[in-house]
Structure 1
Amino acid sequence: MDEPFERVVAQHGATVLRVCRAVLGPADADDAWSETFLSALRAWPDLDRGANVQAWLVTIAHRKAIDVLRAAQRRAVPVAELPDAVAAPAGRDLDLWSALARLPHKQRHAVALHHLGGLPYDEVAGVLGGTPAAARRAGADGVATLRRTYQATIDGGDR
């Protein structure tokens, strides 16, 4: 590509960060963001001129975020003492990330890729697997669940 990579980072950095945060939450999103742009920088000279740069970056970000999730699942978490039983969450918080995290996998990723990453559903289907109609349904179901559960949390009770 002829465009300087710095301009691409400036133009699409916020979108990539939104996708990383939607999949990972705020704690690990910065690492996935950095990994996304390191990977993209390596591939930048070979990218076709007509490529959709935003879709390309969002796809890389989604894959890097999944890599971070998989790596975290493989790591043991040290604790001082083992609990006798698994504790239930104390209650709902008002954080949108928590509401996104409660969505099923396909819905969360469809919402992240389409609504936060700006990908059309045809490309979301390519990333997640399946048809554009299934990706559209997962996105719509995810948004409907967010509207119902997140708004109920803000209002102070379930509807």
Structure 2
Amino acid sequence: MVSERVSLPPFQALVDEHWRDVARLARALAGPVDGDDVAQRAWEKAFAAYPNLTSAKNLRSWLLTITSRCATDLHRARKPQSPLDQSLPVAVDGPESAEWPDPDLWQAVNELPERQRFAVTLKYVGDLDHHGVAAALDTTPAASRRLVSDALATLRNKLGVDHE
């Protein structure tokens, strides 16, 4: 089967249009220390895959999915690999309060379980719909809704916010 050639914009046009979104999501998911490295890795992966894309639909979502997966790879690499290492804390730097509003909220977000933290960040920082969040987390839209809902419930409870 021969695949049709997709008309894609020049890669630099993609970078120019979406670099802020990628950088913002990378910093939200990986923290200010590692965010730039995650964003750079995401752009490298996107550049390598770009010529083989079979669809030019929603390139922003495609980029944010790559960014999310690069951040996930970073967090997985940091997890202790042996029982001896499990007493060591796994540091996950969150956004710096000087750059992000409501440091208490971001502290609470950083304390969420990893998949909930990624889901809520993709939804509200990355501005992805549940299909985009599901694609980034390799799950279903229904599971994405549940992850976001559970994360929001935990955040409301932890921060003492009433929900009506």
| TM-score (norm: length of structure 2) | 0.69
Inter-partner Cα distance in structure 1 for 2:68 and 2:31? 13
- Structure-2 change in CA distance of 1:57 and 1:99 (3 Å): same
Q: What code does the residue aligned with 2:77 have? A: A
Distance 1:25 1:97, change over 3 A: farther
Match of 1:64 among 70, 83, 92: 70
| Cα drift, residue 35 of structure 1 | 0.5
**Match for residue 90 of structure 1?**
none
1:71-101 Cα offsets, whole Å, 9 max, x none, are 22359xxxxxxxxxx9xxxxxx862442221
The answer for the alignment partner of 2:107 in structure 1 is: 98
Which residue of 1 is the match for residue 85 of structure 2?
none
- Per the alignment, residue 83 of structure 1 pairs with none
Unpaired segments ≥5 residues, structure 2: 1-6, 82-88, 90-96
In structure 2, C-alpha distance between the alignment counterparts of 1:106 and 1:138, rounded to whole Å: 7
Q: List alignment gaps of at least 5 residues for structure 1.
A: 76-85, 87-92, 153-159
Note if 1:133 corresponds to 2:139: no
Question: Over the residues paired in the alignment, what is the CA RMSD in angstroms?
Answer: 2.6
Aligned-pair CA distance for 1:127: 3.1
Distance (whole Å) between structure 1 residues aligned to residue 119 and residue 150 of structure 2: 10
CA distance in 2, matches of 1:10, 1:144: 36
* Distance (Å, rounded) in 2 between the aligned partners of 1:43 and 1:49: 12
1:108-158 CA distance string (max 9 Å, x none): 111122222222212322332443222112212323433454577xxxxxx
TM-score, normalising length: structure 1: 0.71
Q: How many pairs were matched up?
A: 136
- String of CA shifts for 1:10-37, please: whole Å, max 9, x gaps: 2212221222222211111100000000
8 A contact 1:25–1:97 mirrored in 2? no
